[in-house]
Amino acid sequence: MKKSKLFLSILAQIIGVTFLVSCSSWNNTQKGAVIGAGSGAAIGGVIGNKSGNAGRGAVIGAVVGGAAGTAIGIYMDKQAKKMEEEIKDAEIERVGEAIKVTFESGILFGFDSFSLTPASQENIMKFAEILNEYPDTNIMIEGHTDSRGTHQYNQTLSERRAMSVKNYLKMQGVDDGRMTTLGHSFDKPVATNDTDEGRAKNRRVEILISANEDLIEKAEKGEIKN
């Protein structure tokens, strides 16, 4: 059953992308209530940010219609609100039915390093507490760099930084099975690499949080407490 839902979600990505773009002015609860309401089918979406670049094309999970979709939207809204209130030095965005958390690499790591700084560990610790409070999600951790240096060097650095965040979250009790890591080198800039300010924005770690199959099933059964 779970495999068939996942297949339907991926199969419907294109439809979902078009729909979400056309309804971009709606709030997340409205989207959850309406998408798929006629058929109940799961529809995939894509991650984006205000500039329309970061994480483009990444599947953020299935969205179900009607009351179940509304319940998932509220679950994610509450989680995002808590992150905004308690996590310092991070940008929190609700995108479709996902949450995107962006940390600047300079906040997490020293120069040319993939070891978390002592100051950043406290922030990631608080982040882990919230993730553990809302366990029914998948977590994709993506590392990005600026364009200085070779592509391969930056690819390795971006992968290691994503893995460092994952390993520290795991140390704080976040289930390893929920987490996936990716490194993008300098392939997905969100700003120009021609200025110091732009390069600083491109050096980042993005964490994409989406509903997993357990959350979808609970929503469909009316088991999510709002």
- Helix 13-22, helix 2-11: angle, nearest 10: 60
- In the chain, the amino acid numbered 117 is T
* pTM of the model as a whole: 0.75
- Phi and psi, residue 29, nearest 5°: -65, -40
Strand (E) or helix (H) holding 224: none
Strand (E) or helix (H) holding 42: none
Cα distances (angstroms) measured from residue 61 to each of 13, 44, 132, 172, 192: 10, 6, 19, 25, 30
**Sequence-ordered list of residues with C-beta below 8 angstroms from that of 63, at least 6 positions apart, any chain:** 16, 31, 32, 35, 36, 42, 43, 44, 45, 69, 72, 96, 97, 211
Q: Whole-angstrom Cα distance, residue 42 to residue 7?
A: 9
Q: What confidence score (pLDDT) does residue 63 get?
A: 52
Q: What confidence score (pLDDT) does residue 97 get?
A: 79
Q: Whole-angstrom Cα distance, residue 200 to residue 180?
A: 24
Given a contact cutoff of 8 angstroms between Cβ atoms, the answer to whether 63 and 97 are in contact is yes
Q: What confidence score (pLDDT) does residue 102 get?
A: 96
Residue range 114-138, pLDDT digits in tens: 999 998 999 999 999 999 999 999 9
Q: What confidence score (pLDDT) does residue 39 get?
A: 31
Enter the tokens of residue 118.
């002592």
Q: What confidence score (pLDDT) does residue 30 get?
A: 45
Q: What confidence score (pLDDT) does residue 222 get?
A: 87
In the chain, which residues have pLDDT < 70?
1-65, 226
Q: What confidence score (pLDDT) does residue 42 get?
A: 32
